[in-house]
Amino acid sequence: MLKVKKTLLVAGLGLVVASSACFPANAADRFATYANPVDLPYRYQFRSLREAADPTMVWFKDRYWLFASHSKGYWWSFDLLKWEFVEPTGFPVNRYAPTALVMNNRLYMTASENTPDIWTTDDPLTGSWSKAADIRPGYNDPCLFLDDDGRLYMYEGLSGKDVLRVYELDPVTFQPLRKADVPASRNKAQRGWEVVGDNNEIDSAESFVEGAWMTKYQGKYYLQYASPGTEYKTYADGVLTSNSPMGPFKYEPYSPFSFKPTGFAAGAGHSSTFQGADGQWWHIGTMTISKRFKFERRLGLFPASFSEGGALMADTYLGDYPRYIGGKRELTGWMLLSRHKPVTVSSTLEGYPAENASDEDIRTVWSAQTGESTEWLQMDLRGLKTVEAVQLNFADQDSAGRGISRDVYRYVLEGSDDGASWRILIDQSTGGRDAPHDYRVLAKPELVRYIRIKNVHTPDNGKFSLYDLRVFGHGQGQRPVAVGQVTATRQQDDARRASISWKPVKNTDFYIVRLGVEPDLMNQNFQVYDGASTVTVGSLNSGQKYYVAVDAVNEQGITRGKTQLVLP
C-alpha cells in the first residue's frame, strides 16, 4: 500500500559585498530560498538519531527524485524546495547508498551492501517497484551510468585500501561485460584532502575511497569519488576525468571540487551531480554530525558549474547560509546574527548548556529538561537587527522515535524590541511539520532585538532541544575593510599542509580563507572565528600551486580580499 507523506521545504581587488545592495532585491524572491542542511523529515536510525546520506538525485517525468541511505523510501519535488515522500514496496528500502538511472522511460535502481537485485518502475509516484535483474554478488557504493550511445556502466568501490572499479554492463541483463580498475582514485601520499581527520591530520589512519558518481559534459567523463570518511568534516569529493567511460582516468589537481570543512554543518562528500530542469547544474552531498553516532548525517545542496576550461565546481562558500534557488543561485546576503549571542532558557538538562544553542556548531546540543509546553529559549541579538529568516535545528534529545516519524514539531516564534512586549513571527502551534531543520523566511523583515521560541509539542516523546537557533538578516553599522597582505608557508616535512596568516582588520566577526589552483577556481574555503588570524589547512595537493584570498565578514556583509599567489 502506498503511503505518501508531504514535506515542505520552505522555503582579484578588495571587493565589498553588501548584504543590502549587491543581492537580488525582489521581495518575491526571498521565499524562493533555502539553507543547508536540506529541510527534510530525516528518518530515525540507530539510537533514535536521524540520518540521510549518500544521495542520488535524478530528473524523471518532470520531477526531481531523491534517494538517500536507509530512508525507507524516497522524495520527489518539482522545484527542489517543496518535497513529498513516497514509502514504496517491492524492494528493500533499508540499504545504504542507492543509485538510480533513467533508461527506456523507466527508472532503475539498486543499492550498496552487495544488494543482489536491480528494481524498476515506470511510475515511482505509485511506490510500486518490481525486480528487473539479478546482479549477485552486488556492488558497494554503486553508481549506474547510461551513456548517450546506449551503453551502460557501473562504477563502484568502498574501501580503506582498494581503488574504484568500473564495469560495462549488458543493458538488458545488467550482467558485467568487462571490468577495469581506476588506480587514479587513491593517492593520499600526494593528496592532503584524502587524509583522515576533521583537519586532514591523522595520516596513520586508513582513508576510505567511496561514493563514485559519473557525469558526462561536452564529451568528457567526470568520475567523482569521496574521501577520507563520512564522519569527518573534511568529507569531500575529488574528480577524475577521461575521454572514455572505462578510462584511463586522470586526477584533476583542483580536487577536491566539493569541500566544506567548516561552518555550522560541515562535509560535502559522497554526492550526486545533476542537471536541473533549467539546465543549471547542482551537487547534493553528505554533511556530518557524527557526534552521538558515526552515521548521524544530513544532506547539503550546492550550486555546481563547469568553468570555461571544463573544471567541475561545487559552490560551498557559506554553504549553510540562505541562498536563492533560482537565477544565479547567489547567497541572499542575509548574514548570521545569532552566533555566540546570549541565551536564556526555561530549564537545562545537565551536560547540554544553553550556550550550545548559539555556538554555530551542529555537533553540540542545548536541551531542556522536558518536552513539555512550558519549555522555551530566548536569544538577545545585542541590539535591534533586521531579521529575514530563521533556521530551527531541533536535536531530538532522548527521543523515542523509530523509523519514519508520524509526529510533528509545534512551536511559536516571537520577536521583541525590549524583551517585555512580544509579537508572533511564526505560529506553528497547530499543524506542524516533521522538520528537524526547519528553515523559515519571515512574512516580512522584522526589526527586533530579542527572539524567543516557545515549545508547544516535541515529537516522539523527546525533550525540547536544539542544535542551534540560527537567525539571519542584517545588523547595524559598516562592513569590514578588506584584508591586506596574506602570507602562507607550506609545512617543510609535508607539502600537503600549509599555514596561512593575515593582519586582522577591525569590525570583523570572522574570516573566510579561500584557496584554489587558479584565480577562477577558488573552490576551497575555511571559516576562521574568534579573532584568529591564522589557519592551518591540510587539504592541499603536493606540487600544486595555490592562490589564496581572505575575506572579512560581519553582520553587515562580506568584504572580499585580493587574490594572491602565495603557495607556489
List the one residue out of 489, 485, 490, 488 whose CA is nearest residue 504.
Answer: 485
**CATH number of the domain where residue 315 is located:** 2.115.10.20
**What is the value of pTM for the model shown?**
0.94
- Domain check: are 465 and 490 in the same one? no
- Domain check: are 457 and 309 in the same one? no
Q: Is the pLDDT assigned to residue 141 strictly greater than 90? A: yes
Number of domains in the chain: 3
Radius of gyration of the chain (CA): 23
Grid coordinates representing 303? 550550486
Whole-angstrom distance, CA of residue 342 vs CA of residue 340: 6
- Domain check: are 199 and 221 in the same one? yes
pLDDT, one tens digit per residue, over 296-323 is 999 999 999 999 999 999 999 999 999 9
Contact 231, 294 (CB under 8 A): yes
- Domain check: are 377 and 313 in the same one? no
Q: What is the DSSP letter of 202?
A: B
Number of helices (H) and strands (E), helices first, in the chain? 0, 42
Instruction: Report the DSSP beta bridge partners of residue 250.
Output: 241
- Domain check: are 311 and 342 in the same one? no
The torsion angles phi and psi of 176, rounded to 5 degrees, stand at -70, 140
Q: What's CA 566's distance to the chain center, in Å?
A: 29
Assess if residue 189 is contained within a domain.
yes
Whole-angstrom distance, CA of residue 257 vs CA of residue 310: 12
Residue 410: count other Cβ atoms within 10 Å of its Cβ: 19
- Domain check: are 498 and 470 in the same one? no
pLDDT of residue 26: 53
262-286 residues labelled b (16+ CB within 10 A) or e (exposed) = bbbbbbbbbbbbbebeeeebbbbbb
**CATH number of the domain where residue 399 is located:** 2.60.120.260
Q: Is the pLDDT assigned to residue 139 strictly greater than 80? A: yes
pLDDT, one tens digit per residue, over 346-399 is 999 999 999 999 999 999 999 999 999 999 999 999 999 999 999 999 999 999
Grid coordinates representing 185? 582514485
- Domain check: are 131 and 254 in the same one? yes
Confidence grade of residue 479 (pLDDT, cut at 50, 70, 90): very high
Contact 368, 379 (CB under 8 A): no
List the one residue out of 535, 531, 530, 529 whose CA is nearest residue 549.
Answer: 535
Whole-angstrom distance, CA of residue 166 vs CA of residue 187: 18
Q: Which amino acid is at 9?
A: L
Range of the domain at 398: 338-474
